[in-house]
């Protein structure tokens, strides 16, 4: 397992981590199999979406904020229930196929670390399975 550390800079943010995960795969010694990307956090997530137009992640974050507003009459005393809900909606992991020693992603797809309660230092765990 490889730990990739990511410093986030804003309360809500989607950070393209494809290059950093691809670097792990390149040196990971497998030609084909699976790459699991997991965040050990309860207010962050990983997702796969469009990398070409920066308005897409911006719109995703804005749309999520409309869906799960910061103030929602929540009970959790820490005051970040919206971030917990968003993290559960997106999930803590993604699995990407590995072929010929590289991630298999669509032309417009990237792996994003989703920060919902930043800024914080986040860990992204990358595990390769295969041969």
Q: 25 by DSSP, 3-state: which?
A: helix
Determine the interface stretch with Zn ion among 20-28, 72-80, 96-104, 123-131 (rule: CB under 5 A).
72-80
Determine the interface stretch with Zn ion among 22-30, 59-67, 79-87, 120-128 (rule: CB under 5 A).
79-87
| Measured CA distances, 5 to 8, 35, 59, 116, 122 (Å) | 10, 17, 25, 16, 6
Nearer to Zn ion, 25 or 85 (CB): 85
Determine the interface stretch with Zn ion among 5-13, 70-78, 97-105, 118-126 (rule: CB under 5 A).
70-78
- Pick from 79, 118, 93, 119: nearest CA to 35: 93
Nearest-angstrom CA–CA distance, 114 and 56 = 13
Among 15, 39, 46, 80, binds Zn ion (CB under 5 A): 80
Site for Zn ion contains 78 (CB under 5 A): yes
Between residue 7 and residue 66, which ones bind Zn ion under the rule CB under 5 A?
none
Nearer to Zn ion, 80 or 94 (CB): 80
Site for Zn ion contains 88 (CB under 5 A): no
Nearest-angstrom CA–CA distance, 125 and 2 = 6
CA torsion sign for 84, 111, 6, 29 is: positive
Site for Zn ion contains 87 (CB under 5 A): no
Give the single-character DSSP code of 81.
H
Q: Give contact residues for Zn ion (rule: CB under 5 A).
A: 78, 80
């Amino acid at each position: 397992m490889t730990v990739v550390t990511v410093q986030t800079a804003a309360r809500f943010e989607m950070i393209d981590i494809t290059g950093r995960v691809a670097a792990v795969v390149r040196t990971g010694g497998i030609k084909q199999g699976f790459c699991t990307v997991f965040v050990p956090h309860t207010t962050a997530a990983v997702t796969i979406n469009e990398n070409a137009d920066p308005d897409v992640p911006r719109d995703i974050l804005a749309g999520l904020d409309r869906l799960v507003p910061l103030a929602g009459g929540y009970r959790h005393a820490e005051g970040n229930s919206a971030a917990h809900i968003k993290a559960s909606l997106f999930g803590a992991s993604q699995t990407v196929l590995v072929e010929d020693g590289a991630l298999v992603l669509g032309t417009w797809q990237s792996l994003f670390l989703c920060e919902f309660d930043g800024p914080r230092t986040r860990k992204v765990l990358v595990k390769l399975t295969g041969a």
